[in-house]
């Protein structure tokens, strides 16, 4: 971690059997790995440690007071000991068969630590045959080893551990696994720490207001009277700094790459396009366009992220940027996540250019093109005839030869990882790196942006163009059949008024899937209407044909998977029905519903759910229905999803390096680490590189 490793094999530090158990349970082989196994929580003077919402079957460790103990015999003559342990306001039961030790030691009033698999019986937590340890009372003389304490005797003498337990003001509770209890980890950890000489501070100075790394690593396992917080603060800082340093180094690197200089010109297609725009640009659009104009005029590659609400008009911004590159004699590539979208983008861009009276030279390159068309397209790209090339990521990955690529726009890319950003290096002529504009409609919460996208400049479009219609969103619970019927009725009314509808399903096959829903709607609900389906497994030509037909108004209702999530622009579509909406994320729902309300018509989004009322899943749907602010919903998304997922999507490598840092609550610390990282890279670049040398190249593999 951040300039510190400890490669001493566990087998040389712990009794062989203990080391083996730890390796097979957790995979740890070195002291460094073990010492980074932090406690889940700490029990202050044996105060209660609860189950913490553990799920059925999970291995848990609790600390509490025995409030009931009774031993009886079962009908088959087995001795059965039942106890109840209280911790704070709740309690758990535990049972033991034929355990004399349990019967003797677990008496009312004793403070105990139990570890085992939890089961729930009518809402009550039960641990069957847990491993346990009776905690010595503060100041109590260590007793002779008995019962389960024997396993601790591996570390010299068991009374040594009893001594440790009675001397610790805070008892660390480690995440345990079958075969390795929380207290055997406590023993192992103390044993390894005792044999660890002071660790020199890995940074060039101890960060002000924080403890040294050596102190932090010892304190987190054995907090003194200050408690665990100083240790947590320092270790979180290390985690934040390691994320920040990678980004700070990337920012510094970007300055060393050369890009074509593409200044905006008063003459040319960009100026002409701006003059002929059929609408007023929003203030936000004007600001972003000006920022991009400046970036493109620099000799270093632009790395800009444009976040904008669905429908906020990102395409026009991108096109104006592309026209600036074209005026300067370069080609542009627009990358879409799917071929359907690439084709649609090519069509939309061509239309915008035709409307502005400009000669069009947009070329789409997709896998489903005929060989002849593809050959012609490739030739146009190589010769420089094609100004704008639209395709998927394969455009870059398959190393299509551009004559002179100056700008790459990546549209609607939620998972545009560092690796993909790097792929463009040297792709321009004379080994220059093209400028890059990444656009997303899923706002990235600020802390995520700071940890995973801090090498990009960020612009945001908060406002929608004037005159945009609001989207009214309602929840349609399955358990109210009349609401479901009313939802279908609303779709019929919209179609009768000349509009079109999307019905989105969470899967293709099976119950509630696209195929089934398509059949049901076509035969049972809307036999008189034109219903079609669209999903990712259909052949590309068929998908293109259906999209084109829908865009032209030939299809009334399109039943689809989330293939329509990104970028599809059909202004006549005014209603969307999302089946089992609870199975989608908050931001995804917002993104989906942005496919309606894009024209002059008041629009409607219906969130169907099969979940019970009052559940968190249904509450989330009501939250989505109540707000139209994508940025607010992105924060909500961050709060309701597992942080690991958020990091996992944003950047797979981050997850493994972040154990304690929270993207939700540690914003101030993340900000400080970012500033410190920038300063450190400027002050001592080789140290900065050394500190993250164990990360780069292995953790940053983004899979999309």
C-alpha–C-alpha distance, residues 337 and 437, integer Å: 15
Q: What's the closest the beta carbon of residue 326 comes to ligand ADP, in angstroms?
A: 19
User: By CB under 6 A, is residue 630 in contact with ligand ADP?
Assistant: no
Closer CB to ligand ADP, residue 590 or residue 657? 590
Q: What's the closest the beta carbon of residue 598 comes to ligand ADP, in angstroms?
A: 6
Other Cβ atoms closer than 10 A to 519: 14
User: By CB under 6 A, is residue 593 in contact with ligand ADP?
Assistant: no
User: By CB under 6 A, is residue 312 in contact with ligand ADP?
Assistant: yes
Return the residue of 23, 282, 588, 591 that touches ligand ADP, per CB under 6 A: 282
Closer CB to ligand ADP, residue 428 or residue 630? 630
Other Cβ atoms closer than 10 A to 312: 25
Q: What's the closest the beta carbon of residue 332 comes to Mg ion, in angstroms?
A: 16
Burial label for 548, CB within 10 Å (0-12, 13-18, 19+), is middle
Q: What's the closest the beta carbon of residue 565 comes to ligand ADP, in angstroms?
A: 12
Q: Which stretch binds ligand ADP (CB under 6 A): 189-197, 308-316, 585-593, 615-623?
A: 308-316
Closer CB to ligand ADP, residue 105 or residue 285? 285
Q: Which residues pair with 609 in a beta bridge?
A: 477
User: By CB under 5 A, is residue 567 in contact with Mg ion?
Assistant: yes
Closer CB to ligand ADP, residue 16 or residue 280? 280
Q: Which stretch binds ligand ADP (CB under 6 A): 125-133, 147-155, 311-319, 353-361?
A: 311-319
Closer CB to ligand ADP, residue 447 or residue 574? 574
Q: Total binding residues for ligand ADP by CB under 6 A?
A: 17
Joined tokens for residue 124: 């009550």
Joined tokens for residue 510: 């099976």
C-alpha–C-alpha distance, residues 515 and 509, integer Å: 6
Q: What's the closest the beta carbon of residue 591 comes to Mg ion, in angstroms?
A: 10
Closer CB to Mg ion, residue 302 or residue 461? 461
**Residue 308 interacting partner from Mg ion, ligand ADP, none (CB closer than 5 to 8 Å by kind):** ligand ADP
Q: What's the closest the beta carbon of residue 465 comes to ligand ADP, in angstroms?
A: 3
Q: Total binding residues for Mg ion by CB under 5 A?
A: 1
> H/E element holding 304?
strand 303-308
User: By CB under 6 A, is residue 187 in contact with ligand ADP?
Assistant: no
C-alpha–C-alpha distance, residues 504 and 606, integer Å: 10
Pairing type for strands 457-461 and 303-308 reads: parallel
C-alpha–C-alpha distance, residues 575 and 206, integer Å: 58
User: By CB under 6 A, is residue 569 in contact with ligand ADP?
Assistant: yes
Q: Which of residues 236-295 bind Mg ion (CB under 5 A)?
A: none
Give the torsion through C-alpha atoms of 268, 271, 273, 275, to 10 deg.
-140
Closer CB to Mg ion, residue 230 or residue 567? 567
User: By CB under 6 A, is residue 311 in contact with ligand ADP?
Assistant: yes
Q: What's the closest the beta carbon of residue 504 comes to Mg ion, in angstroms?
A: 18
Please spell the DSSP secondary structure of 59-107, one letter per residue: EEEEEEEEEEEEEEE-TTS-EEEEEEEEETTEEEEEEEES-HHHHHH--
Closest CA to 700 of 294, 378, 265, 246: 246
User: By CB under 6 A, is residue 338 in contact with ligand ADP?
Assistant: no
**Residue 281 interacting partner from ligand ADP, Mg ion, none (CB closer than 5 to 8 Å by kind):** ligand ADP
The 522-561 contact track toward ligand ADP, x by CB under 6 A, reads: ----------------------------------------
> H/E element holding 609?
strand 603-609
| Cβ atoms of 469 and 597 closer than 8 Å | yes
Please spell the DSSP secondary structure of 27-38, one letter per residue: ---BHHHHHT--
Per DSSP, the three-state class of 139 is coil
Closer CB to Mg ion, residue 184 or residue 413? 413
Q: What is the 3-state secondary structure (H, E, C) of 658-681?
A: CCCCCCCCCHHHHHHHHHHHHHHH
Q: Which of residues 457-486 bind ligand ADP (CB under 6 A)?
A: 465
| Cβ atoms of 550 and 560 closer than 8 Å | no
| Cβ atoms of 306 and 411 closer than 8 Å | no
Closer CB to ligand ADP, residue 138 or residue 354? 354
Closer CB to ligand ADP, residue 91 or residue 270? 270
Residue nearest ligand ADP (C-beta atom) = 313
User: By CB under 6 A, is residue 316 in contact with ligand ADP?
Assistant: yes
**CA angle 24–28–33, rounded 5-degree value:** 165
C-alpha–C-alpha distance, residues 312 and 315, integer Å: 9
Joined tokens for residue 107: 């008496």
Return the residue of 57, 70, 98, 279 that touches ligand ADP, per CB under 6 A: 279
**Sequence-separated (6 or more) residues with CB below 8 Å from residue 508:** 514, 515, 535, 536, 537, 561
Joined tokens for residue 553: 């108004």
Q: What's the closest the beta carbon of residue 311 comes to ligand ADP, in angstroms?
A: 5
Q: What's the closest the beta carbon of residue 214 comes to ligand ADP, in angstroms?
A: 51
Closest CA to 413 of 306, 256, 331: 306
**Sequence-separated (6 or more) residues with CB below 8 Å from residue 64:** 48, 49, 85, 86, 87, 91, 92, 111, 112, 114
Closer CB to ligand ADP, residue 314 or residue 620? 314
Q: Which of residues 356-395 bind ligand ADP (CB under 6 A)?
A: none
User: By CB under 5 A, is residue 630 in contact with Mg ion?
Assistant: no
User: By CB under 5 A, is residue 308 in contact with Mg ion?
Assistant: no
- Residue 606 φ then ψ, to 5°: -115, 120
C-alpha–C-alpha distance, residues 234 and 207, integer Å: 9
The region that residue 186 occupies, defined by phi over 0 for left and psi between -120 and 50 for alpha, beta otherwise, is alpha
Q: What's the closest the beta carbon of residue 495 comes to ligand ADP, in angstroms?
A: 22
Closer CB to ligand ADP, residue 186 or residue 444? 444
Q: What's the closest the beta carbon of residue 279 comes to ligand ADP, in angstroms?
A: 4
Burial label for 293, CB within 10 Å (0-12, 13-18, 19+), is middle
Q: What's the closest the beta carbon of residue 288 comes to ligand ADP, in angstroms?
A: 11
Closer CB to Mg ion, residue 337 or residue 428? 337
Closer CB to Mg ion, residue 582 or residue 598? 598
Residues that bind Mg ion (CB under 5 A): 567
Residues that bind ligand ADP (CB under 6 A): 279-282, 285, 308, 310-316, 441, 465, 569, 598
């Amino acid at each position: 971690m951040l300039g510190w490793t400890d490669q001493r094999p566990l087998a040389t530090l712990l009794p062989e059997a203990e080391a083996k158990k730890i390796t097979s349970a957790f995979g740890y082989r070195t002291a460094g790995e073990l010492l980074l196994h932090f406690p889940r929580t700490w029990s202050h003077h044996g105060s209660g440690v609860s189950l913490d919402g553990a799920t059925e079957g999970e291995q848990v460790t609790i600390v509490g007071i025995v409030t009931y103990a009774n031993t009886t015999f079962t009908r088959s003559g087995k001795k059965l000991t039942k106890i109840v342990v209280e911790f704070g306001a709740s309690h758990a039961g535990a049972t033991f068969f034929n355990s004399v030790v349990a019967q003797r030691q677990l008496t009312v009033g004793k403070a105990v630590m139990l570890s085992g698999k939890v089961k729930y019986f009518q809402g009550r937590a039960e641990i069957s045959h847990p491993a346990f340890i009776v905690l010595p009372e503060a100041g109590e003389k260590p007793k002779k080893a008995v019962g389960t304490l024997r396993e601790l005797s591996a570390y010299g003498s068991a009374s040594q551990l009893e001594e440790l337990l009675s001397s610790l003001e805070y008892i660390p509770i480690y995440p345990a696994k079958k075969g390795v209890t929380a207290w055997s980890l406590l023993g192992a950890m103390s044993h390894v720490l005792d044999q660890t000489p002071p660790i020199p501070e890995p940074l060039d100075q101890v960060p002000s207001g924080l403890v040294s790394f050596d102190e932090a690593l010892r304190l987190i396992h054995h907090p003194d009277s200050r408690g665990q917080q100083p240790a947590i603060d320092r270790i979180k800082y290390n985690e934040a700094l390691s994320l920040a340093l990678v980004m700070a180094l990337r920012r510094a690197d970007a300055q060393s790459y050369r890009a074509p200089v593409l200044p905006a010109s008063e003459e040319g297609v960009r100026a002409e396009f701006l003059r002929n725009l059929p609408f007023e640009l929003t203030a936000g659009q004007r600001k972003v366009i000006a920022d991009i104009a400046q970036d493109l005029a620099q000799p270093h590659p632009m790395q800009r992220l444009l976040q904008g609400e669905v429908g906020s008009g990102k395409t026009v911004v991108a096109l104006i940027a592309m026209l600036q590159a074209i005026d300067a004699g370069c080609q542009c590539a627009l990358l879409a996540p799917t071929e359907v979208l690439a084709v649609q983008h090519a069509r939309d861009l061509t239309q915008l250019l035709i409307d502005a009276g400009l000669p069009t030279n947009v070329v789409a390159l997709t896998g489903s093109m005929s060989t002849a068309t593809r050959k012609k397209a490739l030739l146009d790209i190589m010769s420089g005839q094609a100004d704008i090339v639209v395709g998927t990521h394969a455009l870059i990955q398959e190393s299509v030869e551009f004559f002179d690529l100056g700008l790459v726009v990546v549209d609607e890319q939620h998972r545009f990882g560092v690796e993909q950003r790097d792929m463009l290096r040297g792709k321009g002529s004379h080994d220059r790196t093209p400028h890059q504009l990444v656009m997303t409609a899923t706002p990235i919460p600020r802390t995520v942006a700071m940890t995973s996208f801090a090498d990009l400049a960020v612009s945001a479009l908060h406002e929608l163009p004037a005159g945009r219609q609001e989207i009214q969103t309602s929840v349609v619970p399955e358990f109210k059949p009349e609401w479901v019927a009313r939802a279908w009725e609303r779709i019929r009314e919209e179609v009768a008024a000349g509009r079109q509808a999307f019905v989105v399903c969470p899967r293709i096959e099976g119950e509630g899937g696209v195929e089934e829903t398509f059949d049901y709607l076509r035969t049972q609900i809307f036999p008189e209407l034109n219903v079609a389906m669209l999903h990712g497994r259909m052949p590309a030509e068929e998908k293109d044909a259906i999209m084109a037909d829908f865009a032209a108004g030939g299809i009334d209702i399109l039943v689809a998977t989330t293939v329509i999530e990104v970028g599809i622009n059909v202004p006549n579509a005014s209603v969307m029905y999302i089946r089992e909406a609870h199975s989608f994320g908050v931001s995804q729902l917002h993104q989906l519903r942005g496919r309606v309300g894009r024209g002059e018509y008041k629009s409607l989004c219906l969130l169907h759910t099969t979940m019970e009322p009052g559940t968190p899943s249904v509450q989330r749907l009501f939250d989505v229905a109540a707000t139209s602010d994508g940025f607010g919903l992105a924060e909500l998304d961050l709060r309701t999803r597992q942080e690991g997922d958020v990091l996992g999507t944003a950047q797979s490598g981050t997850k493994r390096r972040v154990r304690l840092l929270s993207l939700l609550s540690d914003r101030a610390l993340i900000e400080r680490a970012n500033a410190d990282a920038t300063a450190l890279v400027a002050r001592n670049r080789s140290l900065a590189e050394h500190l993250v040398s164990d990360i780069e190249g292995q953790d940053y593999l983004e899979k999309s």
